[in-house]
């Protein structure tokens, strides 16, 4: 069984002279990372005869030469396990002038032929840029936010939506008993995918997303319309990046991470106070937070993660570097990383129109 706590130096990981492929996970974790790792290992070791090495804590592990032995025994129990056995970080090697050089030195010393980077836009943008420094990379699209361009869906998203939907089902019964408005704030950064799909699945009465800045008067009107129909409770889903018309996002902290992102959070409380200013109805707020990212992946995400893992190791085998595996219309293929990074896949507004049929 793998000792996930122990950080190894390269020579302790190397067992043979087989071609060596490194795997890393970067950015926020997402349910299904371990299922991707498992698939890469099973096909990479059994079918292609590669040696697989885990790189600890995202790009930080390559900067600091911190590795983890990954053999077939290590695949045990990974399919359903949440988090990342490799650890993850938001380390950006391009923050320092010597970062890319250090990575290439470590990769060459460890004789790692290619790196599979499991991540969202930040992690994959590093993979793309490192390609220009000579690193062979393949990307795997991971984020609960589902905001990556070039793919129909990222793994982790379905699990986050399921968790948010379950929360909405539970909030419905308590909101109804107490005749309250309950606001559920969900993640998603600058897109409203989680809010929108959970809102549809969980029967939300209002869904607020970054792509459609809201007007507080319209939100109150929808609540009133329900009251007029005898529905003396309402459920609102708000994405953390949602903002009022002409306003800005509410931030939890102004401090920036290494990729320049602020921490969003707090729109739910802002909204709750606004509603209580205009309407005589008790309003409560639930911030779902990291519950959306933790724990076991859904069956859908296990299958998707497995397909992405197989797609990634196949891409390595075929020498398709500088590519990301992607799902397009239920087929797994590859797309150049340079066509993906720095773009954002915002919600399909047709889907928002469907959700809005049920507002108020
Ligand atoms: O990108 C995934 C995500 O969960 C976002 O939805 C959220 O804004 C952010 O990460 C939170 O990051 P952290 O885990 O650093 O709090």
Per-residue pLDDT of 192-203, as tens digits, reads 999 999 999 999
Write down the pLDDT at residue 111: 96
> What radius of gyration do the chain's Cα atoms show?
22
Give me the sign of the Cα torsion angle 71, 1, 83, 32: positive
Let me know: does 116 contact 317? Beta carbons within 8 Å. Answer: no
Residue nearest to atom 15 of ligand 1 (CA): 28
Q: Is the pLDDT of residue 178 over 60?
A: yes
Centre of ligand 1 to C-alpha 129, Å, is 23
Write down the pLDDT at residue 206: 98
User: What are the backbone dihedrals phi and psi of residue 331, each rounded to the nearest 5 degrees, phi first?
Assistant: -115, 135
**119 CB less than 6 Å from ligand 1?**
no
Ligand 1 atom, smallest distance to 293 CA: 4
pTM of the complete model: 0.95
Write down the pLDDT at residue 1: 31
- Rounded Cα distance between 155 and 130, Å, is 24
Centre of ligand 1 to C-alpha 356, Å, is 26
**Residue in 235, 192, 208 with CA at minimum distance from that of residue 360:** 235
Q: Is the pLDDT of residue 14 over 90?
A: no
Enter the DSSP assignment of 185.
E
The mean pLDDT of 255-270, rounded to a whole number, is 96
Asked which of 6-10, 110-114, 125-129, 220-224 is least confident by mean pLDDT, the reply is 6-10
Write down the pLDDT at residue 2: 38
Let me know: does 122 contact 259? Beta carbons within 8 Å. Answer: yes
Residues labelled catalytic: 145
Asked which of 2-16, 63-77, 200-214, 221-235 is least confident by mean pLDDT, the reply is 2-16
| 3-class secondary structure, 169 | helix
pLDDT band at residue 164 using 50, 70 and 90 as cut-offs: very high
**219 CB less than 6 Å from ligand 1?**
no
Centre of ligand 1 to C-alpha 82, Å, is 16
Write down the pLDDT at residue 237: 98
- Rounded Cα distance between 122 and 329, Å, is 25
């Amino acid at each position: 069984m793998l000792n996930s706590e122990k950080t190894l130096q390269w020579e302790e990981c190397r067992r043979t002279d087989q071609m060596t492929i490194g795997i890393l996970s970067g950015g926020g974790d997402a349910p299904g990372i371990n299922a991707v790792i498992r698939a890469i290992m099973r096909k990479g070791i059994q079918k292609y005869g590669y040696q697989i090495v885990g790189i600890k804590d995202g790009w930080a592990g390559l900067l600091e030469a911190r590795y983890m032995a990954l053999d077939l025994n290590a695949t045990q129990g990974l399919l359903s396990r949440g988090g990342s056995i490799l650890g993850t970080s938001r380390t950006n090697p391009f923050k320092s002038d010597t970062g890319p050089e250090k990575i290439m030195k470590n990769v060459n010393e460890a004789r790692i032929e290619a790196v599979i980077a499991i991540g969202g836009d930040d992690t994959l943008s590093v993979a793309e840029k490192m390609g220009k420094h000579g690193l062979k990379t393949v990307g795997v699209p991971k984020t609960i936010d589902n905001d990556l361009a070039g793919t129909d869906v990222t793994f982790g998203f379905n699990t986050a939506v399921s968790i948010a939907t379950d929360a909405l089902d539970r909030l419905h019964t308590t909101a109804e008993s107490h005749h309250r408005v309950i606001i559920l704030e969900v993640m998603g950064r600058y897109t409203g995918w989680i809010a929108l799909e959970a809102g549809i699945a969980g029967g939300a009465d209002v869904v607020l997303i970054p792509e459609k800045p809201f007007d507080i008067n319209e939100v109150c009107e929808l609540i009133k319309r329900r009251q007029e129909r005898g529905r003396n409770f309402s459920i609102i889903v708000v994405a953390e990046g949602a903002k009022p018309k002409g306003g800005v996002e509410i931030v939890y902290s102004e401090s920036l991470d290494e990729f320049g992102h602020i921490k969003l959070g707090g729109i739910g409380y802002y909204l709750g106070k606004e509603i209580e200013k205009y309407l005589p109805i008790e309003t409560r707020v639930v911030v779902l937070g990291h519950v959306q990212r933790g724990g076991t992946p859904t069956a859908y995400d296990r299958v998707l993660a497995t397909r992405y893992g197989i797609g990634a190791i196949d891409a390595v085998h075929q020498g398709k570097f500088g590519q990301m595996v992607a799902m397009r219309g239920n087929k797994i293929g590859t797309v150049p990383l340079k066509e993906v990074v720095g773009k954002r896949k915002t919600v399909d507004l047709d889907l928002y129109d469907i959700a809005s049929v049920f507002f108020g």
